[in-house]
Structure 1
Amino acid sequence: MKQINYKLLLFVFFVSSISFAQQKKITGTVTDDNGLPLPGVNIIVKNTSEGTQTDFDGNYSIAASSGAVLTYSYVGFETKELVVGNRNNINVSLLVSRATLEEVVVVGFGERARKSLSTSIATVEVDDIVNIATPTVSGALQGTVTGLQVNQNSGTPGAGFSVRIRGASSIQGSNEPLYVLDGVPLLNGTPGGGNFGGQDNDILSSLNFSDIESIQVLKDASATAIYGSRAANGVVLITTKRGKTGKLKVEINSYLGFQDAIERFDPAPLGESLRYADIAWDEAIGVPSGTGLFSTGGILGFNFLDASGLTTLDELYASDSDVNYVDEIYRSEAVVRQTDISLSGGSENARYFLQYSDFNQEGVIINQDFARRTLRLNVDFKASKSIDIDAGISISETDVSRINSDNNIFGALTTSLLEYPGLPLRDEFGELTRDNFLFSNPIQNALLESSDEVSLRYITNLGLRVKLLEGLSLYSKINLERLDFRQDRFFPAETAQGAGANGDAFTFQNLFTNWVSNTTLNYNKKFGDWGLTALAGFSFEGSDTNQTTINTQNFPEGFNQPANGSTLIQADNFNTERRLFSYLSRLGGSYQDKIFIEGTLRADASSVFGQGNQIGYFPAVSAAYIISEDFQSEAITNLKARVSWGQQGNQSGLGNFASRGLVGAVNVADVPGTSIVQVENPNLKWEITTQTNFGLDVSLFNKINLTYDYYIKNTTDLLLNRTFRNSTGFLAITDNIGSIENIGHEIGLSADIVRNDSFSWNSQVNLTFNKNEVTALVRDANGDFLPIDSGFASRVSVGQSLGSFFGLVFDGIYGPGDEIPAALQARGVSEGDVRYVDVNGDGNITPDDRQFIGDPNPELIGNFRNSITYKGFDLAANVQFELGKDIYNNSLAFAGPGSRTIFGKTREGISDYYTADNTDATQPRPREGSLQVFNAQDSSQYVEEGDYVRLKEVVLGYTFNTTLLGVKNTSLRIYVGGDNLLTFTDYSGLDPEVNTFGSDNVSRGTDFFTQGLNKTYKFGINLKF
């Protein structure tokens, strides 16, 4: 028996020895798809309890047999399983899981699992945009999510963007969304005053996109209601990067680019321009050419600075100075560059993120530049198990150098095209000439005039989170924002705009201070199949504004400061304060993680309104049902229906005393006194936007995701001016009048076409259809709605889209044998002049014949984005498009066929004008005086289709994962790319995306010598270690 036990013991020992011999030590490193180490990755021998985690450098060690399967899992990444086999060293790269990234999203005053969302919230794929290297936050938002329309108003450096979420809902107020940075609302609006042309400053230009961790766009009323009266136009939540536990991580991003205008005006040669002018003036004045028509002291009195002073039109034909001022106004090469350096890391109790960025952009037109420097520090402390502290500070400085530009008759593009090209650019000494025809030398104007705009912005915040009980926490945050903006503008006497005043200087300074304090209680608890979430809190916002304006003229030579001007034109100082106190609450419930319902109520008390109307209540409710939880399907992995309803207010565009009666100081016959300057309106209240949303989310095979939303958005009690009779002595009063409706469909489609270790291809398509209609306005004494005119040909009218174009209907050119009404003949209209439709049939053309002739609001906006990776290569491309919109090309009224200027024609603008030998012409005959104005009236001849398809960005990169300069786990990415490389459009202007009047609500889609966008070629590096 003992012998048997001994043999059995030997057998067991032998088998155990063999088993132990099969175990071996496996080592390796786990990294992300950029080659950076991942600390804390869970590694388990499948079907056992054996496991380990990677250290701070992503390294690991585990014992496993050759036939074992190792499972690698990490939050936010796809789980991977590998057979050990004969390998002793296994390095693993984990792919980011798109589905997991969307599991938790930032919402107003908190976070939510995406699965539980019953509202319309879209997430911007920040990582994809970072790879494209975009310099601005506003520009980065273009084409990212449905329902969001972002247009760059101009190609001038630092020019603003127009951002709309689900259309425009206000006429006099702002239609820009509310921007919330790290949980705190930012100042909305633009700080500038007296800008050159119609472009606003971009309020987000002081933010560096590389600082941003995530962006969520809140679109429906239930998602935005927690922000109450600030959220009628939607909300953009921006969360900046914070440090993560681990060793110091360094990241350096830098790129260099070269820019040029997508399109330039093509001016007509001097000879063709003069022939055109010859015909126009000879017929208008009745004086044949060569008889002193243009001589000094002659009929027109123009001075071309000819040596003799008696230059005639015939002699000008022989001029050897055919200056192309358009080409001269552009730089031969405009450089753009940016460098970011960030440091991050920390322990479990303290983490940090520090980043510095330097961005510089030269304008494609001379004397235009933009520079931005930003510094951000975010820190997080764990004071105890139940207390967490977060703090942040950001400092940014922007410096914009500008010249006269968009929507300005003295603008660089305007003068370079309209100025007489027959004079030499420089004199015999090489100095720029100065002439007295239409404008001063455009190049001299651009070099001598100046506008320097400097913004210094500080944002600081401090947050405290206390875990009170299981599922219950208190969070309090305070934020201080300060923006100091200053603009110094000077026109020397040698420039066109400064000549009449012997120099003109303007200084504008605006100091904003904004502080916000939020305190909320959050509760989140599960009770079996039931879940409960609750939030209650209060918020206080205060803002102070101090504005100073000084304008002086008449300067001694060599001096350009306002104090040096001997004539004071304006000296103003303005101080104002605004306060907003709010209570906010949200209550949500769930059942079996498939049925969700949520209600929100916010009460805002504003200092803007009078007694009885200071408090507004803004409710919202939403619900969602995950239908796919009730059936099993390999194809349909998620199917969720959503519905929501809610209301928000809007007080933007109102002064702090809009509801109150005001008095001002007056001086009559040297006797000081006061008078009423504003009539009170104690009934003034909020604009109210009511929105209903129906949504559907579908996922197929865990690869294809479809999101559809249908919304109805009505805004009532619009804040508009109601005019008074002249006998009252007052012009108007702000009142609640009118309404606007937006109805739309949003379709978002994303597909992982291929996704494996070495190759991935993701495609996204976003489509937005929005229909805007004005449904009520101010009524006149007869009860009829009164339209509102703005810009060149824009009108707000009931039954039309906001800012539709209104003018005469162009009906071609009068040709031989065409009947011309007697009333028009009496005005001198003849063959070759423009024919307009006589709408009222009175035989004449008057303003009563005007009709709606175009709509600047696109029927469809969208984009098509692709991201492809293959081993170390990555390729990203984004195509942006807008369809079904019109543009009012007012540049044609000055430089096109039959336009209002005798010189300054484009080559195309006088390519086919009417003459006795060209009666089939498409362009009217050359005219001057009243008939020139007749042929160039606001009409449909200047309305063009504004559809376009644009290759917005394309970038190709390659990532090396290696050891660099002795530093292990280094990731180096190099890339080349371009912006706005291809544009397909039938629009004849410089660019179909720009908008002369910036973010103006009414005068949209207008182009008056607006600087087009730029195409950019760039290359850069991303270094991480």
Structure 2
Amino acid sequence: MEYYSERNVLGAYGQAEFGFKDYLYMTLAGRNDWVSNLSEDNRSIFYPSASISFIPTKAIDGLREGVVLDYLKLRAGYGTSANFPTGYPISSTLVLDTQDFQDRTGVNVVTNTTGTQLGNSNLKPERIDELEFGIETRMFDNRLSIDASVYTRKTKDLIVERPLDPSTGYTYTQTNVGEIKNDGVEIDLSYDIFRKSGNGFNWTTNFNWSTSESKVTDLGLDTDIVVYAGFTNLGNAAIKGKSLGTMIGTAIDRDENGNFKVNAAGNYVIKNGNNIIGDANPDFNFNMSNSISYKNFKLGFLFTWVEGGDIYAQTVQTLLGRGSINDDKGDRTNSFILPGVNPTGEPNTTQINNSAYYFDNVLYGPDEMGVYDATVYRLQEVSLGYSIPDKYLDKTPFGNLSITLSGYNLWFDAPNMPKNSNFDPNVAGLGIGNGRGFEYLNGPSSKRYGVSIKASF
């Protein structure tokens, strides 16, 4: 199957820069784009930006006289950008198939069918506005570097694919979500633990910590919810006042006091509809990288930590439900009494066997039963390199020659997943796009090893 689309973008851009005595700088810029695949009323968008920075260590005499502060910069910036849809989102297109099938005589039959996307002539480009404040500093003879920023970002008219009932003749349409607000903090820190000139022992450690909270502040549509990834009854949804990344699906029904409801057979009562069952956004991300060198050897390794965020893991559901692994929370050979209240409102006392619990509740019960905390610690990368000394290359055509051994995803620990599932939350079950937090029997993550040789002549 072959697909071809074309889009033209015409842009006009201007920028002005100002400086005062090497310590105060300002930049002003503006851009206007015109895109070909939107309607005439919506194809133009203007987005300006402005930034200012101040360097106290150059403006104030005496700040650098001590042994602590080497450099200090304060900055503030306001920036905007735009994103445009691809394809032909404002028109309902016709699909021409010149070889749909052959008749009995071997003649190709040509068919014309409507596409799966309903055109939306009101679609607009999305615009992102961001306000950021930051600080950069170097201290202790430039051994310690810190770069920290706090920002607030608003995305207006976010473009998403909205599922449609197939009875309409289409399966989805592209539409705009009114406004998404994102607040975040990011801190980068670098420290030279050992620093020797030449071929001495050097060790530099870099830390990066970031957190971000994204909320839907306005849907801008005639609905309370837009499911933009996954399936209409199990996926990511935009809901006003909730995080963009909210997960919806079937849940365990609860009474007015928040107690789980259990039916007469002793199983959980399923509440159908678009219930919130999790939030795929992590609480924070942390990365630590190290670079160690001695003479011609160089060792590097990267450790990552993702804290929080939920994942619907169908692999874990299936392994538990079909008895392929044991549950670290209990003995599979025992019977179970699910916590909650029975149909009369009294505490549940009905026993169920392990098959009923794992098969009817964990595997084929409420989607909520398949949601886990996706916290994960990971040794992301390790590399060891060696550069051939120049004296051994004098009679060769090489100017420089080095070899590096590397390994990726060598170890991980997901402490809140079932211990013996060996499940790595770093999987994507919804493909490329805005969807996250769902895994549908995907292949496991893999370790990778490599060897690279770099040469110059």
TM-score (norm 1): 0.36
Matches of 2:399 and 2:163, distance apart in 1: 68
Match of 2:371 in 1: 943
SS at match of 2:392: strand
Matches of 2:429 and 2:114, distance apart in 1: 38
Match of 2:448 in 1: 1016
Match of 2:100 in 1: none
Matches of 2:425 and 2:162, distance apart in 1: 35
Matches of 2:118 and 2:179, distance apart in 1: 24
Matches of 2:205 and 2:395, distance apart in 1: 38
1:886 to 2:304 alignment = no
What whole-Å deviation, never above 9, does each CA across 1:941-977 have from its counterpart, x for those lacking one?
A: 2111211111111223333312347238854434444
Higher radius of gyration, 1 or 2: 1
Contact kept in structure 2, 1:697 and 1:705, CA below 8 Å:
yes
1:769 to 2:211 alignment = yes
**After the TM superposition, which residues 487-506 of structure 1 pair with which residues of structure 2 at under 5 Å, given as runs?**
none
**After the TM superposition, which residues 162-181 of structure 1 pair with which residues of structure 2 at under 5 Å, given as runs?**
none
Matches of 1:1009 and 1:592, distance apart in 2: 61
1:684 to 2:123 alignment = yes
- 1:861 CA displacement: 1.2
Matches of 1:975 and 1:730, distance apart in 2: 52
1:896 to 2:284 alignment = no
Contact kept in structure 1, 2:326 and 2:332, CA below 8 Å:
no
**After the TM superposition, which residues 239-638 of structure 1 pair with which residues of structure 2 at under 5 Å, given as runs?**
508-509=1-2, 547=3, 575-629=4-58, 630-632=60-62, 633=64, 634-638=67-71
**After the TM superposition, which residues 648-797 of structure 1 pair with which residues of structure 2 at under 5 Å, given as runs?**
648-652=81-85, 654-656=86-88, 658-660=89-91, 682-700=121-139, 701-720=141-160, 734-756=174-196, 757=198, 758-777=200-219, 779-780=221-222, 785-788=224-227, 790-791=230-231, 792-797=234-239
Contact kept in structure 1, 2:388 and 2:401, CA below 8 Å:
yes
Match of 1:981 in 2: 410
SS at match of 1:893: helix
Contact kept in structure 1, 2:165 and 2:171, CA below 8 Å:
yes
- 1:638 CA displacement: 1.1
**After the TM superposition, which residues 765-844 of structure 1 pair with which residues of structure 2 at under 5 Å, given as runs?**
765-777=207-219, 779-780=221-222, 785-788=224-227, 790-791=230-231, 792-809=234-251, 824-825=263-264, 829-830=265-266, 833=267, 835=268
Match of 1:901 in 2: none
Identical amino acids, percent of aligned pairs: 25
Matches of 1:732 and 1:949, distance apart in 2: 37
Match of 2:343 in 1: none
Cα separation, partners in 2 of 1:612 and 1:1012, compared to 1, 3 Å: same
Matches of 2:449 and 2:95, distance apart in 1: 56
1:952 to 2:380 alignment = yes
Contact kept in structure 1, 2:225 and 2:237, CA below 8 Å:
no
- 1:587 CA displacement: 0.9
Matches of 2:249 and 2:355, distance apart in 1: 22
How many residues are aligned here?
A: 411
1:645 to 2:74 alignment = no
Cα separation, partners in 2 of 1:820 and 1:612, compared to 1, 3 Å: closer
What whole-Å deviation, never above 9, does each CA across 1:156-195 have from its counterpart, x for those lacking one?
A: xxxxxxxxxxxxxxxxxxxxxxxxxxxxxxxxxxxxxxxx
Matches of 2:446 and 2:325, distance apart in 1: 22
Name the structure with the higher strand share: 2
SS at match of 2:7: strand
Aligned amino acid, residue 717 of structure 1? D
**Unpaired runs of at least 5, structure 1:** 1-507, 510-546, 548-574, 666-671, 813-818, 837-844, 898-903
Aligned amino acid, residue 750 of structure 1? S
- 1:604 CA displacement: 1.0
Matches of 1:583 and 1:951, distance apart in 2: 45
- 1:579 CA displacement: 1.0
Aligned amino acid, residue 282 of structure 2? P
TM-score (norm 2): 0.77
Matches of 1:979 and 1:726, distance apart in 2: 43
Matches of 1:1001 and 1:759, distance apart in 2: 44
Contact kept in structure 1, 2:319 and 2:325, CA below 8 Å:
no
Aligned amino acid, residue 880 of structure 1? T
Contact kept in structure 2, 1:793 and 1:938, CA below 8 Å:
no
Aligned amino acid, residue 631 of structure 1? D
Matches of 2:185 and 2:303, distance apart in 1: 20
Cα separation, partners in 2 of 1:880 and 1:851, compared to 1, 3 Å: same
What whole-Å deviation, never above 9, does each CA across 1:706-762 have from its counterpart, x for those lacking one?
A: 001111111112335679999998887644442211111010001222222212111
Contact kept in structure 1, 2:178 and 2:221, CA below 8 Å:
no
Matches of 2:308 and 2:261, distance apart in 1: 35
Contact kept in structure 2, 1:663 and 1:677, CA below 8 Å:
no
What whole-Å deviation, never above 9, does each CA across 1:863-883 have from its counterpart, x for those lacking one?
A: 101111122222111112211
Contact kept in structure 2, 1:778 and 1:786, CA below 8 Å:
no
Cα separation, partners in 2 of 1:924 and 1:875, compared to 1, 3 Å: farther
Contact kept in structure 1, 2:336 and 2:353, CA below 8 Å:
no
Cα separation, partners in 2 of 1:664 and 1:912, compared to 1, 3 Å: closer
Match of 1:859 in 2: 283
Aligned amino acid, residue 190 of structure 2? S
Match of 1:501 in 2: none
What whole-Å deviation, never above 9, does each CA across 1:563-614 have from its counterpart, x for those lacking one?
A: xxxxxxxxxxxx4332111111111111111111111111111111122332
Cα separation, partners in 2 of 1:811 and 1:621, compared to 1, 3 Å: same
Aligned amino acid, residue 578 of structure 1? R
Match of 1:847 in 2: 272
Matches of 1:643 and 1:885, distance apart in 2: 30
SS at match of 1:576: coil
SS at match of 1:846: strand
- 1:799 CA displacement: 1.9
Matches of 1:996 and 1:731, distance apart in 2: 20
Cα separation, partners in 2 of 1:924 and 1:857, compared to 1, 3 Å: farther
Aligned amino acid, residue 860 of structure 1? F
Cα separation, partners in 2 of 1:974 and 1:913, compared to 1, 3 Å: same
Select 1:872's aligned residue among 276, 296, 302.
296
Matches of 1:645 and 1:691, distance apart in 2: 6
Aligned amino acid, residue 693 of structure 1? E
Contact kept in structure 1, 2:31 and 2:46, CA below 8 Å:
yes
**What is the RMSD computed on CA atoms of the aligned residues?**
3.8
Aligned amino acid, residue 61 of structure 2? F
Aligned amino acid, residue 1006 of structure 1? F
Cα separation, partners in 2 of 1:797 and 1:924, compared to 1, 3 Å: farther
Name the structure with the higher helix share: 1
Matches of 2:40 and 2:132, distance apart in 1: 34
SS at match of 1:996: coil
Contact kept in structure 2, 1:807 and 1:939, CA below 8 Å:
yes
- 1:662 CA displacement: 5.9
Matches of 1:910 and 1:865, distance apart in 2: 33
Contact kept in structure 1, 2:116 and 2:169, CA below 8 Å:
no
**Unpaired runs of at least 5, structure 2:** 97-110, 255-259, 340-351
SS at match of 1:926: helix
Matches of 1:677 and 1:595, distance apart in 2: 55
Contact kept in structure 2, 1:774 and 1:799, CA below 8 Å:
yes
What whole-Å deviation, never above 9, does each CA across 1:202-221 have from its counterpart, x for those lacking one?
A: xxxxxxxxxxxxxxxxxxxx
- 1:764 CA displacement: 0.5
